[in-house]
Structure 1
C-alpha cells in the first residue's frame, strides 16, 4: 500500500471515529427509568470495581474504589480511594456542583479545567480532560464518561479515553451501594 493511500485511510478512519463520538446525545435516555439523581445515588458509601483496557482490549489494570460521598445542597464531595491490582493506591476528591439547568460541573486536582456533566433519564455523560501520569510523564487525556443507573443500588460506567481524537483505551466500572 502506498504511503499516500495509508495517510488517506488514516484520515478517513479518524474522521469516522470523531463523527461516531459526536453522534450520541444524552437526551436519548430522557425516558429511561429509574431516573438518575446524582445527589441521591452518590450519597454515603459506594463501592466500585473496575478495569482499564488498552485500545486492543487487553486488561492492563484492575481496581477497587471506595467512595465516601456527601452533599450540602447542590454541592457534593466524592472522596474516592483506589486500590489497584498492582498494589498501588490513589485518592481523588471530586467537587460536584449542580447547575440551575440540572446538569453538573465537576473539579478534581488531576482534572484539567472543569468536567461537564449532562444528565438525562438514567444516564449521565461526563466530558473532561485528566492529567494522567505514565512512566514519569504527565499526559492530558480526554475522557468521554457515561454512567447508567440500573436500579437504586447498581450503576454501570464506561469511559473512552482519547488523545487528539485517537482512542487510547476504556475504563469500565460497576458501582454498588449497600
Structure 2
C-alpha cells in the first residue's frame, strides 16, 4: 500500500471514530419525561407511519406498520407488518429480551447477530445491522435507531442507516399506541 493511500485510510477511519463519539448519548435524556418503559409501550397493538429519505433528503419510500406486541416476563415479541406506498409488503418479527438497567437485546430474521439497546428517561437507542434487499441483492447496513416518547400514546423514531460509516439515509416514524 502506498503512503498516500495509507494516510488517507487512516484519516478516514479516525474521522469515522470521532464522528461516532461526538453525538448524544441515551443517558443525556435521563431526566426527560414521560419515562419510557419499552416493554410497557410495545405491548398491545401499535400503528406507525414512516418515510425513508436518502442522505440528500429525498423521500423515496413511504410506509405504514401494524405491530402486534406482547411480553411474558422479560421476553417480548414485536410482530411488524409493513405496507409500502408501492403496494409491496413485508414482515419482521423481533424477539426481545429485557435486561437489568434498562438494557434490551433482540433478534429478527433479517438482523445480523444481536441488536442492543438502552432506555433512559424518555429515550431509547437501538443499534443493529440489517440485511437489506435492494434490486435482487442483499446489503448489510447499520442502524442507529433513536426513539423518543412524546406522551403515553405517541413515540417518534429516527433511525440513521449507514455502511462503512457513511450515512445512506434516514427512516422517520411516528408510533401511535391503540
**TM-score (norm. length: structure 1):** 0.91
**CA deviations over 1:24-51 (Å, ceiling 9, x no partner):** 2110000100110011100100000000
Is the contact made by 1:65 and 1:81 (CA closer than 8 Å) also made in structure 2? yes
Q: How does 1:8-87 map to 2 (within 5 A)?
A: 15-16=14-15, 18-23=17-22, 24-87=24-87
| Structure-1 separation of matches of 2:140 and 2:13 | 19
Q: Secondary structure at the match of 1:76?
A: strand
Deviation >3 Å, runs of 4+:
8-18
Query: Unaligned regions of 5+ residues in structure 2, if any?
Result: none
User: 2:146 aligns to what?
Assistant: 146
Cα gap change, 1:9 to 1:58, in 2 (>3 Å): farther
How far off is 1:21 after superposition? 3.0
**CA deviations over 1:91-146 (Å, ceiling 9, x no partner):** 00001100123200010000000000111111000000000001111000000000
User: 2:118 aligns to what?
Assistant: 118
**How many correspondences in the alignment?**
174
Cα gap change, 1:170 to 1:18, in 2 (>3 Å): farther
| Structure-2 separation of matches of 1:114 and 1:94 | 11
The RMSD of aligned alpha carbons is: 2.0
**CA deviations over 1:50-97 (Å, ceiling 9, x no partner):** 000011110010000000000001110000000000000000000110
User: 2:174 aligns to what?
Assistant: 174
| Structure-1 separation of matches of 2:49 and 2:139 | 24
| Structure-2 separation of matches of 1:53 and 1:11 | 30
**TM-score (norm. length: structure 2):** 0.91
Query: Unaligned regions of 5+ residues in structure 1, if any?
Result: none
